[in-house]
């Protein structure tokens, strides 16, 4: 076997691996994005109708679908430009590129303490709120048009932002790491047809950002004072304060924790 034949086999294997990675990435994003699911279903339906029209010799339908298939990709790019941009941007939205700050245990506990202080006050007084915590995927598209703050996070500050006379109380706040980055942020509402019709705009916005990113969205209902968490395409509705706190702590934990060996712990204790 010559070097050329070995090299050709290697390049073919690499080529196939790249194709599978691309397919995996596309399917993963389709699964986590309701709008992408709708696009995917629509394309499948058109293809099936086209196949059926060819089998049944439906000339007019086939001719129309030829135009749809010819110009459809361009139309999809124009109509769904924000969704396609989000998928492409997600390639670079990783912790390795340094956008996401991994909190220490103390920073995480302080963050949760301040948030829970605000949530308890907002719940008790039935003040609506939407707090979004950025994780690995960037929320820059929502931060850019919002009102920049970049401040340490405290319960009184969050309470003041969402207090009704405040002009920023209708929007959401975004937290990056242990800093409050902006207020008055506007999020896209969920397009999921299975969402309960009784849910208000805040809950739909929280679910919308949880569908498109890996962010954690915290919601306080203005009408009932109920507290909820939207994460990973799911809304955990009407939680108790304790359930809310435990869920938040769990979601804020890094995927890999650093543990000391037993011998190292004994040395530290000494």
**pLDDT digit string, tens, across residues 238-251:** 999 999 999 999 99
Q: What percent of the chain has pLDDT over 90?
A: 38
Encode burial over 206-220: b for 16+ CB neighbours within 10 A, e otherwise.
Answer: bbbbbbbbbbbbbbb
Question: How do 172-176 and 129-134 pair as beta strands?
Answer: parallel
pLDDT above 80 for 76: no
What are the structural domain ranges in the chain? 3-95, 97-252
If one counts every other C-beta atom within 10 angstroms of the C-beta of residue 227, the result is 22
The pLDDT, as a whole number, for residue 263 is 43
pLDDT digits (tens, 9 = 90+) for 154-194: 999 999 999 988 888 888 999 998 899 999 999 988 888 77
| From 3-7, 30-34, 49-53, 109-113, the region with the lowest mean pLDDT | 30-34
Whether 62 and 52 have beta carbons less than 8 Å apart is answered as no
Which pTM value belongs to this model?
0.64
- Across 25-46, average pLDDT: 69
Mean pLDDT is highest, among 42-51, 185-194, 244-253, 259-268, for 244-253
Classify domain 97-252 at the CATH topology level.
YojJ-like (1 (3.40.1700)
* Distances in whole angstroms, Cα of residue 93 to Cα of each of 71, 99, 146, 176, 230: 31, 7, 20, 14, 20
């Amino acid at each position: 076997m010559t070097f050329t034949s070995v090299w050709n086999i290697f390049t073919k294997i690499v080529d196939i691996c790249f194709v599978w990675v691309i397919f995996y990435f596309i399917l993963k994003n389709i699964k986590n994005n309701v709008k992408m699911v709708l696009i995917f279903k629509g394309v499948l339906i058109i293809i099936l109708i086209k196949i059926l029209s060819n089998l049944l010799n439906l000339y007019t339908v086939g001719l129309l679908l030829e135009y749809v298939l010819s110009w459809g990709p361009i139309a999809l790019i124009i109509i769904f430009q924000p969704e396609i941009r989000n998928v492409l941007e997600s390639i670079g939205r990783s912790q390795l590129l340094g956008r996401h700050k991994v909190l220490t245990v103390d920073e995480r506990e302080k963050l949760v303490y301040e948030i829970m202080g605000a949530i308890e006050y907002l719940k008790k007084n039935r003040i609506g709120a939407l707090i979004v915590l950025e994780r690995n995927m960037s929320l820059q598209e929502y931060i850019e048009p919002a009102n920049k703050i970049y401040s340490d996070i405290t319960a009184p500050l969050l309470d003041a932002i969402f207090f009704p006379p405040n002009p920023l109380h209708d929007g959401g706040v975004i937290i990056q790491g242990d800093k409050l980055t902006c207020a008055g942020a506007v999020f896209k509402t969920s397009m999921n047809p299975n969402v309960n019709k009784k849910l208000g705009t805040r809950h739909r916005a929280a679910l919308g950002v949880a569908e498109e990113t890996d962010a954690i969205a915290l919601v306080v209902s203005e009408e009932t004072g109920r507290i909820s968490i939207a994460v990973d395409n799911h809304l955990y509705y009407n939680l108790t304060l304790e359930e809310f706190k435990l869920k938040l702590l769990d979601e804020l934990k890094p995927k890999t924790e650093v543990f000391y060996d037993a011998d190292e712990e004994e040395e530290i204790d000494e």
